[in-house]
């Protein structure tokens, strides 16, 4: 799939989209299904794959110009291993739409894909994209990020429509981290609402948590400005304020006295924030990054404190000056 790198990806003419291409969607959960719907509406030849489906992985990716991975983070390493025996087109674009951290390597999904396919362009797709709203045809916006500008523009062209606005940027790691880390904060926001602490408490939590996300993201290599965009602040707001968010529902359920196991059974789907929290704490400890909000979520998920104790711990922290307006302060290691 050849796309000129001189194109202006944020000035896309929807009537000038290239001829339909073959797109393989890996994962048939809510997010994978939503992405498949978007691609079909653009007229592309869409094939979907899941471990429980009848089609083989080789059949689905055969001659695909674009492979979109909407798998859970736990499913990514296994799928990559299976895909390694399959011959891809030399210029196939791999799009990672997974939000999470691998528990074994502490890598993001796109890092796993890049390690396995160093010669293929890797694009990260992330944003405030609640799959149920997208399936219902409600308007949404997202970001596709890659070091390969032409590949990002190609994905933008393939998925953009009058109901789904796609932007590009050149910070795939920051884009991916924003979408990943906000799931941890969504659990905390669910706790706030489950305890009926009010809008003031939730707003304060989200604001301070954004500073925490920026601190983690920039120390790991993301660009500060990325976290104020759709994949950072935008996704944080959507996930922390909607009952459609599975991670929000985890926190809400814990505040209502339910066990984590009970909540996950009721969800009947993956809440990536649970695994991400555990991996994030290991990573933050190793890197020496202060993550007070995420740390309380970690203690709560692991049964070490109650929801009420988590709130009290955050409210009783040492008094300090607000410094979130100064981006450089989030890189200094000061805690939120």
CB 227 within 8 A of CB 213: yes
State the pLDDT confidence band at 330, using cuts at 50, 70 and 90. Answer: very low
Closest CA to 236 of 226, 224, 225, 227: 227
Among 15-24, 46-55, 186-195, where is mean pLDDT lowest?
A: 15-24
pLDDT for 289 = 96
Average pLDDT, rounded, for the chain: 90
Classify strands 66-69 and 164-169 as parallel, antiparallel or unpaired.
Answer: unpaired
Q: For residue 2, is pLDDT > 80?
A: no
Overall CATH class of domain 14-170: alpha beta
Q: For residue 307, is pLDDT > 70?
A: yes
Distance CA 123, CA 259 (A): 37
Classify strands 66-69 and 122-126 as parallel, antiparallel or unpaired.
Answer: unpaired
* CA–CA distances in Å: residue 57 to residues 90, 202, 295, 303: 17, 43, 39, 39
pTM reported for the whole predicted model: 0.89
pLDDT digits (tens, 9 = 90+) for 197-235: 999 999 999 999 999 999 999 999 999 999 999 999 999
CB 94 within 8 A of CB 125: no
pLDDT for 323 = 59
Distance CA 118, CA 113 (A): 8
Residue 230 phi, psi dihedral angles, 5° rounding = -60, -40
Q: For residue 6, is pLDDT > 90?
A: no
Q: Which residues are catalytic?
A: 182
pLDDT digits (tens, 9 = 90+) for 144-162: 999 999 999 999 999 999 9
Q: What is the CA radius of gyration of the chain?
A: 20
pLDDT for 18 = 59
What is the DSSP secondary-structure string of 110-161?
HHHHHHH-TTS-EEEEESS--HHHHHTT--EEEEEE-S-HHHHHHHHHHH--
pLDDT for 313 = 87
Alpha helices by DSSP H, the chain: 30-41, 57-61, 76-83, 109-116, 131-135, 149-159, 172-194, 199-220, 235-241, 246-255, 260-267, 272-287, 292-301, 307-315
pLDDT digits (tens, 9 = 90+) for 59-75: 999 999 999 999 999 99
Higher pLDDT among residues 99 and 336, named by residue: 99
pLDDT for 317 = 59
CATH T-level assignment (fold) for domain 179-331: 1.10.1040
Burial of 99 (0-12, 13-18, 19+ CB in 10 A): buried
Which residue pairs, CB below 8 angstroms and at least 24 apart, start in 302-307?
302/278, 303/260, 307/191, 307/194, 307/195, 307/251, 307/254, 307/255
Q: For residue 329, is pLDDT > 50?
A: no
State the pLDDT confidence band at 318, using cuts at 50, 70 and 90. Answer: low
- In the chain, where are the structural domains located? 14-170, 179-331
pLDDT digits (tens, 9 = 90+) for 231-270: 999 999 999 999 999 999 999 999 999 999 999 999 988 8
Classify strands 66-69 and 45-49 as parallel, antiparallel or unpaired.
Answer: unpaired
């Amino acid at each position: 799939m050849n796309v000129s790198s001189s194109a202006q990806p944020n000035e896309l003419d929807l009537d000038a989209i290239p001829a339909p291409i073959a797109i393989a969607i890996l994962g048939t959960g809510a997010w994978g299904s939503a992405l498949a719907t978007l691609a079909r509406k653009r007229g592309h030849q869409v094939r979907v794959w899941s471990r429980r489906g009848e089609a083989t992985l080789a059949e689905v990716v055969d001659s695909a110009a674009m492979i979109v991975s909407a798998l859970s983070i736990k499913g990514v390493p296994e799928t990559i291993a299976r895909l390694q025996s399959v011959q891809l087109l030399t210029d196939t674009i791999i799009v990672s739409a997974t939000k999470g951290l691998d528990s074994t390597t502490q890598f993001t999904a796109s890092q796993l894909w890049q390690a396995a396919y160093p010669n293929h362009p890797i694009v990260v797709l992330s944003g405030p994209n609640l799959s149920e709203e997208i399936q219902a045809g409600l308007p949404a916006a997202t970001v596709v990020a890659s070091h390969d500008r032409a590949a990002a523009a190609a994905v933008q062209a393939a998925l953009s429509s009058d109901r789904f606005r796609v932007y590009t940027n050149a910070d795939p790691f920051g884009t991916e981290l924003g979408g990943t880390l906000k799931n941890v904060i969504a659990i905390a926001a669910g706790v706030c609402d489950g305890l009926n602490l009010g809008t003031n408490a939730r707003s304060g939590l989200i604001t301070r948590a954004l500073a925490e996300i920026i601190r983690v993201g920039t120390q790991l290599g993301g660009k500060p400005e990325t976290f104020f965009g759709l994949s950072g602040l935008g996704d944080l707001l959507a996930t922390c304020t909607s009952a459609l968010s599975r991670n929000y529902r985890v926190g809400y359920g814990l505040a209502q006295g339910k066990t984590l196991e009970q909540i996950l059974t009721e969800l009947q789907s993956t809440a990536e924030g649970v695994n991400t929290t555990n991996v994030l704490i290991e990573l933050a400890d190793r890197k020496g990054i202060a993550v007070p909000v995420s740390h309380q979520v970690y203690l709560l998920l692991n049964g070490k404190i109650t929801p009420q104790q988590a709130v009290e711990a955050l409210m009783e922290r040492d008094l300090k000056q607000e410094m979130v307006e100064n981006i450089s302060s989030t890189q200094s290691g000061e805690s939120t």
